């Protein structure tokens, strides 16, 4: 399979929004109908859509599951869903509402044994989300910093049996200034899993750079909404199944 180009839909109060650097006070509303946005990305060829419940991430439990249900009804693409998934009940609710993959971030730090159990139960449906600001991992909807560095959490995720990790540079997120390749390279060099990149991607060249570092795919948000990247063009450009395999550590 080629490099995955994955469009993002961020949910807040039932709307499709984008935040700058994860700052809830710097919000742009792109649509009152997230399901319509999902249809648009599906029509452009998306095989996976990344959906984030921003309200859930901040509150500690999913808030926009009704929107997830509507998105599920609108698309045949796989849905990767995160935001406030910190208990068995919340993960079960997200899967029941239509998520194909669940993204766990805060729990990597606060409940690593539980994440390991979920990996045994759900396999590659579990995605580890490593969100960092200035090299330090952030939790609780990016509102709280920890002392842990990206590489430490990547190695922890590997020990948990995680098969897919999403790495986000918070300071790059929504800024269209290019991805943080050094941080991404650090994770890929330790990876026993597929790595997805997020934050700062603004062009096809940025996507190529992320791919060439060794990532398996990238989340694209602001660049799509601002018209900097055409999703259909990007998917076509990176869908070559004959591309050389990535090298992995280990």
Active-site residues, by number, are 10, 131
Q: How far apart are CA 43 and CA 39, in angstroms?
A: 6
Give all strands (DSSP E) within 150-240, no chain letters: 164-169, 194-198, 217-220
> Measured between alpha carbons, how far is residue 10 from residues 38, 124, 170, 219 in Å?
11, 22, 14, 12
Q: Identify whether the C-beta of residue 191 lies closer than 8 Å to the C-beta of residue 248.
A: yes
Cα–Cα nearest to 82, from 235, 230, 229, 219: 219
Give all strands (DSSP E) within 96-228, no chain letters: 101-104, 126-133, 136-139, 144-149, 164-169, 194-198, 217-220
Cα–Cα nearest to 221, from 39, 44, 47, 16: 16
In sequence order, which ranges of 51-111 are alpha helices (DSSP H)? 54-59, 65-74, 88-96, 106-110
Q: How far apart are CA 72 and CA 70, in angstroms?
A: 5
Measured in degrees and rounded to the nearest 5, phi and psi for residue 237 equal -70, -25
């Amino acid at each position: 399979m080629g490099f995955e180009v994955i469009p993002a839909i961020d949910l807040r109060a039932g709307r499709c929004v984008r935040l700058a650097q994860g700052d809830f006070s710097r919000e742009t509303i792109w649509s009152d109908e997230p399901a319509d946005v999902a249809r648009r990305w599906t029509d452009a060829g998306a095989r996976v859509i990344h959906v984030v419940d921003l309200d859930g991430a901040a509150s500690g439990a999913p808030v926009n599951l009704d929107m997830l249900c509507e998105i599920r009804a609108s698309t045949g693409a796989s849905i990767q869903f995160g935001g406030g998934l910190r208990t068995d009940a919340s993960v079960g609710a997200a899967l029941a509402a239509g998520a194909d993959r669940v993204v766990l971030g805060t729990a990597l730090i606060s409940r690593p044994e539980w994440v390991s159990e979920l990996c045994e139960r759900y396999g590659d449906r579990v995605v580890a989300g490593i969100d960092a600001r200035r090299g330090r991992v952030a939790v609780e909807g990016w509102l709280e910093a920890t002392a842990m560095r990206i590489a430490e959490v990547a190695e922890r995720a590997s020990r948990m049996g995680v098969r897919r990790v999403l790495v986000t540079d918070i300071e790059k997120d929504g800024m269209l200034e290019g991805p943080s390749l050094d941080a991404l390279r650090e994770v890929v060099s330790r990876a026993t899993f597929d790595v997805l990149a997020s934050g700062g991607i603004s062009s096809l060249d940025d996507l190529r750079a992320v791919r060439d570092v060794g990532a398996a795919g990238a989340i694209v948000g602001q660049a799509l909404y601002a018209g900097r990247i055409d999703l259909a063009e990007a998917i076509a450009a990176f869908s070559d199944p004959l591309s050389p395999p990535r090298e992995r550590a280990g």
